[in-house]
Amino acid sequence: MSIRLRLAIQFGAILAVTLLLFALAIYFATKQSRRALFTQSLFKRTLVVGHAYAEGQESRNANQQASYRRYLRQLYRTLPEEEGRVYDAANRLVFREGQGPAKPVPAAWLAEVRRSGRAVLEPETHYHETVGLLYQDARLGPLVVVASSVDEDSRQQLAQLRQLLAVGLLAALVVMGIGNWFFAGQALRPLRRMVQEVDGITATDLSQRLTQAAGSNDEIGRLAQRFNRLLDRLESAFAGQRTFVRDASHELRTPLTALIGELEVALLQAERPPAEYRRVLQSTLDSARQLNELTNGLLQIARASDDSSQVPMGPVRLDELLLQAHEQLLRRHPTCRVDLDFREGEEANCFTVRGNEALLLSAMLNVLDNACKFSAGNGGTVTASLARTAHHLTLLVSDEGPGLSPADLQQVFVPFFRAATARAVPGHGIGLPLAARIMALHGGTVRVESEVGKGTQVWLNWPI
């Protein structure tokens, strides 16, 4: 079942039930009101009958008594099947006028009328009702006047009301069904357009976006906005993946080509001197090490791109981690001078953050390794300062290398990018991009400042 049909049925059912309850409320309220009016009219008839009977009994003239009886007969003809009775103090029937057979009235009910002043013998059943009223007369004593009749007007008018409500309800259901179907279609039209546009988006072309109506801020408009943002992230991820694969393939090709070339040259001659074999093996080993470093860097970038919830985290002492990175760095660059500066705070564990120790060590090593490689040519000194501020922990690594131009500075976080001044320095261009991803995984940032000929400064900032 489509959403449009389901919405039309659901809203139609709600409105149908609402209108049905409203129609029933109108009908029963009207019926109750007419019943109360009819009961009051019967009680008024009892007063007229009692007064007419008493006046007739006081008259001594037979002609006057006959005229009263004619008046009463005329009175009883005003209501359908009307009947009137008068009972004296001994509960004897002294007067009766009306149509149909006389029905006995229970003595207990007459006693209740005398006690309460008025009572209803038959609540309205099939529009017929009987009431009794105590009529006090000074000469005749307490009389019980009984009146009964059929409310034919209410029968006819309520039948017409039922017919009118049924026809109106049926017409309203038809109009509501058509209206619900139309307005549900209007409301779901943007959704149908979104489905058609989504069908046209493929993995090879993620540049398309869903159309958003001007000023649309409803649920469907917000859904289109979220979907477009998702497409932005997917397009960026796909573009980054393609760039990463292309650059990684290019970087991997270089050591593999060198490795294959050395081995092919070594196999061209059957016999070679041992020194030549040693040179080939050393060159092959260097290419294998370069390939291993590049592969490890690629794996670390992939790991640093994972969801932070999937990376094990724990308390890490940055000062101890910096000492560990310094020790490993000296094994890689024995001639590089690295000065460490720890600006201690008042707290014992002022340099403790929550993170992954292996990833943070990799980020520090990459930044320090870059500083050493670019400072080695001119015998410069690398300085690493760890400090704590009110809101951040900061590691500043400064070198005295050739520096970067403003154009190169904007590209330092692009994987495999190498500045013009760094072409002669061994590397693959993944150190800073890897450090930036690791810091982003820990909620931190990386900032780089550099000038040509004045060295480079790299800040690693962790939030406290």
pLDDT tens track for 139-184 = 888 888 888 888 888 888 888 988 998 998 899 888 888 888 888 8
Q: What is the pLDDT of residue 313?
A: 81
Instruction: Tell me the H-state helices in 200-273.
Output: 219-266
Q: What is the CATH number of domain 233-304?
A: 1.10.287.130
Region of residue 88 (phi > 0: left; psi between -120 and 50: alpha; otherwise: beta): beta
pLDDT at 393 over 80: yes
pLDDT band at 25 (very low <50, low <70, confident <90, very high): very high
Taking the domains of the chain in order of start, what are their residue ranges?
3-158, 233-304, 310-463
Q: Dihedral sign, CA of 275, 277, 281, 286?
A: positive
Q: Tokens 């039930």, residue?
A: 17
pLDDT at 219 over 60: yes
pLDDT band at 285 (very low <50, low <70, confident <90, very high): confident
Q: What is the CATH number of domain 3-158?
A: 3.30.450.20
Euclidean distance between the first and the last CA atom of the chain, given in angstroms as a whole number: 54
User: What distance in Å separates the CA atoms of residue 141 and residue 163, rounded to the nearest whole number?
Assistant: 50
What's the pTM value of the predicted model, to 2 decimals? 0.47
Average pLDDT over residues 196-205: 75
Q: And the tokens for 35? A: 């019943």
Average pLDDT over residues 205-223: 72
pLDDT at 215 over 80: no
> Of the ranges 48-62, 109-123, 295-309, 322-336, which one carries the lowest mean pLDDT score?
295-309
pLDDT band at 29 (very low <50, low <70, confident <90, very high): very high
User: What distance in Å separates the CA atoms of residue 450 and residue 401, rounded to the nearest whole number?
Assistant: 10
DSSP 255-307: HHHHHHHHHHHHTTSS---HHHHHHHHHHHHHHHHHHHHHHHHHHHHHHHTS-
Average pLDDT over residues 401-428: 70
> Of the ranges 115-124, 176-185, 373-382, which one carries the lowest mean pLDDT score?
373-382
Q: And the tokens for 64? A: 């006057």
Q: What is the pLDDT of residue 189?
A: 78
Same fold, 3-158 and 310-463: no
pLDDT tens track for 304-348 = 555 566 677 888 888 888 898 888 888 778 888 888 888 765 555
> Looking at per-residue confidence, does 287 or 137 come out higher?
137
CATH architecture of 310-463: 2-Layer Sandwich (3.30)
